[in-house]
Amino acid sequence: MINENDILDMTSLTRAQIAAIAEHEHITPVLAAELGEYMMHIHHGPQHVQQMICDDIAHALHAGDLGKARGLYATLKQFIAEHPEALRGNG
């Protein structure tokens, strides 16, 4: 039987990237994994995922949560390194 970990592992996204999507969209990690994987395969989808992570960073900074902002920044850096098509102008 497929469990939550199996679903999260079947995507092209890391757990941290999935968590950022889940937080941004206020959905469960499984739904975020499905949404994120879908978005990685549509036109400008990777840019939208990048924007979600950037929005989460801005929200954390606005809330004064520097630790969370730093973690999300690391997530963003890894996302861009793994998915350079997410950079604006590359798609």
Answer with the residue of higher pLDDT: 74 or 1.
74
pLDDT tens digits along 23-51: 999 999 999 999 999 999 999 999 999 99
Q: Which amino acid is at 90?
A: N
Separation of alpha carbons 82 and 76, rounded Å: 10
Mean pLDDT of the chain: 94
pTM above 0.75, yes or no: yes
Separation of alpha carbons 42 and 39, rounded Å: 5
- In the predicted structure, residue 88 carries a pLDDT above the cut 80: no
Separation of alpha carbons 33 and 82, rounded Å: 16
Separation of alpha carbons 85 and 71, rounded Å: 22
Query: What is the Cα 33 distance to its own chain's centre?
Result: 9
